[in-house]
Amino acid sequence: MFGFIGNRPDLGARVLQSSAELLRVRRDPGDPLGWGLGFYQAGEILLRRRPIDDRLEIDLTEAAEDIRTDVLIGHVRHASVGALRTENTHPFRYRSWVFAQTGTIAGFERLRERLLASQPEFLRRNVRGETDSECFFYLFLSFLHDAGHLVDDHAEPKHVAAALRASIALVDRLSAEEGHGPNGGNILVTNGEHMLAVHRDSQMSLRVLRGKFDVEHLLGEDATRRARIPSIESSHFTIIASELSAIPQGWTAIEGRSIVTLRRTADPQVEPL
C-alpha cells in the first residue's frame, strides 16, 4: 500500500516512477493478486481497480504513468476476506473520501453484522463488497458523520484523526469480546486536501521531496532543464508506503503506533495513535 500528496499534478507520476523498484510486488505461483489506484484529477475522483492480475510482477507505476494528479492512494491486495472482485478491491471511495488499509479485523466473520448495524442506513447501503476493510471505512465515515464533518470538504486533520481513533477503538473492543488481541495493519485515507496514515504494526516509511534539488535528483538535471518546470523551487511531495521489504536511503521509518498527517506543502506531522 502506498500514497502520495504534493502540490504539482504534473510531477505526481514521476514521483512514483522514482520509487518504482520499491513499489513492485511479486506474487507467489497460485496466489493471484489484485490492485487498485484512487486519485484526484481535474476535480474528479477516479478509481482504477483490477481484482485479478496474474502477472508475476505487478508494477503500479506503469498503471499510473498517464495520471496527472497530486494526490493518490495505491494498494496491492492479497485477498484475506472476500472474493477477488472489483467491489472488494481497494481503494474504496465515498464522496470526496478515498481509503485503503492492510491487515484483517480479527473475528470479522462474527462482527460484521454488529459493525454494519452501528452505521447510519444511508452509509450502510453503500457497502458493496464483503471485506472487513470496506466495512471499517464506512464505520470511519459514520464517526465523521456523527461529528458533523462527513460532507465537509475541508475537514481538519484533527477531526479525521478523531474518527480514525474512535473506529479503531470500537473494532478493537469488539474483537476483544471475541477473544482476540488488538488489530494490526496500516491505513491511508484522504479527502483530496490532506492525507492521514495510521501506523499500527506493519512496517511503514515515508520520503519527502522538497524544492529544486530534490526534483533535479528525481528527474535528472538535464531532463529538468529541458522540461522547463515552472516554480520548481516550491515543489513539495510526500510519498508513504507500507510493507516495504527494506527501508531505502532517503526514507524515514514511522515508529510506534502513530497517526501521520500529510499535506501538500508541509512536512509530515506524527502523533501517537
For residue 253, give the H/E element and its range: strand 252-253
Q: State the pLDDT at residue 30.
A: 67
Q: Is the pLDDT of residue 220 over 70?
A: no
pTM listed for this prediction: 0.91
C-alpha span between 69 and 80 (Å, rounded): 30
Q: Is the pLDDT of residue 84 over 80?
A: no
User: Which residues, 6+ apart, have CB-to-CB distance to 260 below 8 Å?
Assistant: 196, 197, 198, 199, 206, 240, 254, 268, 269, 270
Q: State the pLDDT at residue 113.
A: 92
Secondary structure class of 247 (helix, strand, coil): coil
pLDDT tens by residue, 1-34: 999 999 988 888 888 888 878 888 877 776 778 8
* Residues β-bridged to residue 53: 33
Tally of residues, the chain: 273
Residue 221 confidence class, pLDDT cut points 50, 70, 90: low
Q: Is the pLDDT of residue 226 over 60?
A: no
**Contact 7/232 with Cβ under 8 angstroms?**
no
Q: Is the pLDDT of residue 233 over 60?
A: yes
DSSP 8-state class, residue 75:
E
Q: Is the pLDDT of residue 227 over 60?
A: no
Mean pLDDT across the stretch 217-230? 60
